[in-house]
Amino acid sequence: MQAIERYTEPLDWITIIFIICFILIVLVRNLYTNRFNEFLYILTSNKFMLFKGKENNAFHGFNILLFSVNALSISVLIFWFYKYYTNPSPANYLFIYIRILTAYVCFILLKFGVEKIISNIFNIDKVIDIYLFQKLSYRNYIALLVFPITLLLIYTLNISDLWVYGVAGFILLANLTGIFNIFKQYQKLISANWFYFILYLCALEIAPYFILYKLITVY
């Protein structure tokens, strides 16, 4: 019987990224033990959001480390989806990933900066600071939930359209749930300023992602 040669793609650099993510998670767990334990129950308890949100510090070391995990792992997932649909040359894998990572981080930071500028213009810094902290916390949490799924997709499962749409749908639903939970805390404020709320929602929560989608599909 003739042996069939099996082609395996070079995944060493992805493995290194995952190892870095694991190290960062362990670092967060050891440096901020109580904070991390409260963070793990973010979906079932408001303790983390209520008490840590009052600090108004999105650039706390805890948040920076978890955002690093978020950016590294989500960028791998986006790369894997991109690779599935475009089938680029293996020689370009790392370069494509770096571009995705750079675009992802720049997009998040630029959006964060615009929201901070607007909050300063309308003199609502305190409310927006808490909102940004809570939104960042939810998205870091979602990244941790998606992390093991990304591992399975790359090392175990065969990726398909069903997996792509399923994971993308889960991330979208989780983000919408997080935003809904945050907005629910500001019902009175939103009711009194519903026009500005709709304007904000369209300009800063919907339009940026629509523009990003158009850029991706066009280029």
Instruction: Identify whether 171 is part of a domain.
Output: yes
Structure-block tokens of residue 62: 């805890």
Instruction: Identify whether 68 is part of a domain.
Output: yes
Contact 26, 99 (CB under 8 A): no
pLDDT at 7 over 50: no
For 139-173, how does the pLDDT look when each residue is reduced to its tens digit (9 = 90+)? 999 999 999 999 999 998 788 999 999 999 999 89
Instruction: Identify whether 194 is part of a domain.
Output: no
Quick check: pTM over 0.75? yes
Domain that holds residue 173: 12-185
Fill in the amino acid letter for 26: V
Average pLDDT value for residue range 32-53: 81
Instruction: Identify whether 215 is part of a domain.
Output: no
SS3 88: coil
Instruction: Identify whether 70 is part of a domain.
Output: yes
Which is more confident, 214 or 104?
A: 104
Instruction: Identify whether 46 is part of a domain.
Output: yes
Backbone Cα Rg of the chain: 19
Sign, CA torsion 78/84/85/90: positive
* 77 contacts: CB under 8 Å, gap ≥ 6: 146, 149, 150, 153, 167
Instruction: Identify whether 198 is part of a domain.
Output: no
- Greatest mean pLDDT among 48-52, 181-185, 203-207 lies in 181-185
Q: How confident is the model at residue 3 (pLDDT cuts 50, 70, 90)?
A: very low
Q: Total structural domains in the chain?
A: 1
Instruction: Identify whether 205 is part of a domain.
Output: no
